[in-house]
Chain A
Amino acid sequence: MNNARKISEDLYWVGSSDRRLNLFENIMPVPQGVSYNAYLLKDEKNVLIDTSDNSVSEQFFENLYSLVGDNEKLDYIIVNHVEPDHSSLLCRTAYEYPEAKIICSAQAQKMILQFFDCIATERFITVKEGDKMSFGKHEFTFCTAPMVHWPEVIVSYDITTKTLFSADAFGTFKALNGNLFADEVNFDRDWLDEARRYYTNIVGKYGTQVQNLLKKASMLEINMICPLHGPIWRENIGYFVDKYDKWSRYEAEDDTILIIYGSLYGHTESAANIVASRLAEAGQKNIAMYDASVTHPSYLLSEAFRCRRIVILSSTYNAEIYTPVKIFIDEMKSHNLQNRVFAVAENGTWAPTAGKQMREMLAFNNNVITDTTLTIKSALNESQKDSVDKFVNEILNK
């Protein structure tokens, strides 16, 4: 049975959600699922805006057939983004509707033909920044959004209804559970963490490019944002734009402290608990803390984007930084994190060198590291109380 949903006059949602997928992009756990949005505009022309992932193909085609039936034509398929979680169903759609033309950027055409060998070049209409197309009542314009988060990405803007089809921008993890609109859910309580984890891991590296897109979008009047994942925004759009603005300027949302530790037998963990307690006793609230071994890096990265100050405690492991901690630091570097304060503590039963190596790894962008490395020799000793206090005070004073 089809589950196509009317969004607004002439516009329908034809997507679906996957609650069984283990790893998005084969990296990130998605325990709350993920949605794949596709939209259909029924104007004088029928226009499909993106397709979906293979996992939801059955529902997608039931949805599409219900709106573009046997005696109807699909005139256009707009491909805002070629990543396979959106383009996997392009070939079959193009086959089922042989008259449909594909609207995309020149780079997107090249990529589509690299992935798939199914669409004749004559079926492509490539668009550039500012190009316009009318589908009847609705006139669209196209803007490039390079590296948000792929080079070929365009966003499509319905000038008539002031609707922005934003590709992966303004998306989030988590399955859509009947409610398609952000104003129908408690987004801050139930969605924001997954939205942040989605943004930081997938787009986080490209802050400058997201800022460029936000500047372009600020020139448009936007009544609705239709992303490729997650709920549609038609109210309180400013709330979500503000989050994107902060995340893309690498500005922390919370002035709180994040503690990440890597501990083999619990001694570095104990030190982390002691540091957290001293911080709490000094008045610091909302301290966040994670064991790097049991928390997927995608969550740690998301928290590092949220919090301004990050304390990292690591065992020394084969004369290097303990692997899960090394991975976490590498993730922060790869995603271009900036404007953070780090504090490092090392543990080593014979030659604690993790601290020095962490300081070297953390010397990227404009991030600062507090002066003192707290050194633990197997376990913190009562005689180290003053060192611990010094370490904690340096964090509090930043």
Chain B
Amino acid sequence: MKKYVCKICKHVYDPAVGDPDSGIAPGTAFEDLPDDWTCPLCGVGKEDFEEE
């Protein structure tokens, strides 16, 4: 599964890690993140992420 990078703050979403603080389990692909998921570092939406 591909990693995605936030264009604003460069935070990397790693599917292997997920985003447990936001209730996203490890193993969740970026595409499967909810539409209202936001960057845990800077708060922007999925639309501001790109493939690493």
Chain A residues at the B interface, C-beta cutoff of 8 Å = 107, 144, 146-147, 151, 206, 208-209, 212
Contact = CB atoms under 8 A, between A and B. Distances in A.
Nearest to B43: A146
Given A146-B41, A209-B44, 9 more contacts: A107-B41, A144-B43, A146-B9, A146-B43, A147-B8, A147-B43, A151-B11, A206-B8, A208-B44
Which secondary structure characterizes the binding site on chain B? loop
Contacts of A107: 41
Contacts of B41: 107, 146, 151
Interface in B8-52: 8-9, 11, 41-44
Number of contact residues on B: which range applies? under 10
Interface of B: 8-9, 11, 41-44
Nearest to A106: B21
Contacts of B44: 208-209
B47 to A, nearest CB: 11
A212 B43 CA distance: 10
Q: Which 8 A-B pairs have the closest CB atoms?
A: A146-B43, A146-B42, A151-B41, A147-B42, A151-B42, A151-B9, A147-B8, A147-B9
Contacts, number: 21
A147 B44 CA distance: 10
Contacts of B8: 147, 206, 209
Contacts of A212: 43
A212 B9 CA distance: 16
A107 B42 CA distance: 10
Contacts of A147: 8-9, 42-43
B17 to A, nearest CB: 16
A209 B6 CA distance: 14
A250 B28 CA distance: 37
Residue from B8, B41, B42, B43 whose CB has the most chain A CB atoms within 10 Å:
B42
21 contacts: A107-B41, A144-B43, A146-B9, A146-B41, A146-B42, A146-B43, A147-B8, A147-B9, A147-B42, A147-B43, A151-B9, A151-B11, A151-B41, A151-B42, A206-B8, A208-B44, A209-B8, A209-B42, A209-B43, A209-B44, A212-B43
Nearest to B48: A208
Greatest chain B CB density within 10 A among A147, A208, A209 is at: A147
B21 to A, nearest CB: 9
Contacts of A144: 43
A206 B41 CA distance: 14
Contacts of B42: 146-147, 151, 209
